[in-house]
Amino acid sequence: MTREEFALFLKSLRDAEKKGLDTDAIVKVHEHENVYIYNDACLKKIFASEKNIALTTDLVNASLNLVGDNRVENPKLVNPFIPGELGYRNSEPDLVLVNERENGQPRDRISIEVQHEGGLTFKNRVVLYVSRLSSNMVKKSEPPILENLNLVVFQFFDVYPWRVSRNYRHSIQLRNQEQLLYYDKQTITVIEVKKFFSKAKYFASDDSRLAQWLRAIDTLNRGADFSEFANDPIFGVLQEEAKLSNFSSRYLMMEGMTMTDAMYLVYNEREKIARNLLKNGLSPKDIARNTELPLSFVYEIKKALERGY
């Protein structure tokens, strides 16, 4: 299912529950369809399951462009999906795993997050994830010896407009004004899914593993012919795991919007209003007062507009 189709499906489950109808019967009707893989609940169940660790490992290596000795080989899930238990959502990334390295090298901590809505609040949220994951590595009263942290973000909006960058995968690290690397243990990898498909002709010759993953997931989400990927054992597992018959109605309905997500969406709407008001010449102070956004945040929006974002 596409995102829109899956949203309507979830709505039908909630409506049926309110009427006292059998929600599992609704799932049964759609059991041969695929879930929307980028949904938080679906992503968690598919990629945070112990039995699918090879699937998750392949996705991680493709996302981080890791090859040879640098590949993630023996990851362990930090927050695994437990069959029979209801999922839950919080302000942490959707999926976290660690990977041990040999020869005394620091281990990797890798998180995967999906974001559908853009804006400055998104960047703040990503940096918040990184800071939380970093602080969780250090035990109280011990020196801050950190692991290699990689936050992978699949996003459905452009963080870098086409006129600025014709890449859909971005590796972001701490650098100085001369672009010299300051710290190599903390990386945000942004994958612009929307850009990859909106400029499909430009990326048609891209046969990287990440490009294969994006196309395979998109094909399943659209319910299109999957024969192109059928001979790949990893994508064969993905095809089986994405079937709606693997998901109970109760699990799907429990993945409701938390207060954090609600406020996130509110800020996105207010940011859109602030952008329009700034374009119309209203002062940042008046905008902050009318939208209830922090004045500093309005100035950030103003700077972004001036840079063409």
- pLDDT reported for residue 258: 42
- Phi first, then psi: what are they for 92, rounded to 5°? -90, 160
Q: Per-residue pLDDT tens, the chain, 309 aa: give them.
A: 999 899 889 889 989 999 999 999 999 999 899 999 999 889 999 999 999 999 999 999 999 999 998 899 889 998 887 765 544 444 444 688 988 887 777 889 999 999 887 777 788 888 888 988 888 887 777 777 888 999 999 999 988 999 999 999 999 999 999 999 999 999 999 999 999 999 999 999 999 999 999 999 999 999 999 999 989 999 999 999 999 999 988 888 875 444 445 555 677 788 889 999 999 999 999 999 999 888 888 998 898 888 777
Contacts for 241 with CB less than 8 Å, ≥ 6 apart: 45, 46, 49, 52, 55
- pLDDT reported for residue 11: 87
Strands 75-77 and 95-99: antiparallel
Nearest to 110 by CA among 89, 94, 128: 94
| Enclosing H/E stretch for 55 | helix 53-64
Q: Are 147 and 185 contacting, i.e. CB atoms less than 8 angstroms apart?
A: yes
Paired strand residues for 243: 34
From CA 250, how far away is CA 81, in angstroms rounded? 15
User: Residue 22 CA to chain centroid, in angstroms?
Assistant: 32
User: Residue 148 CA to chain centroid, in angstroms?
Assistant: 19
Q: Is the pTM of this model over 0.85?
A: no
Strands 95-99 and 108-115: antiparallel
Distances 218 to 126, 161, 303 between C-alpha atoms, Å:
24, 22, 35
279: its two tokens: 């374009």
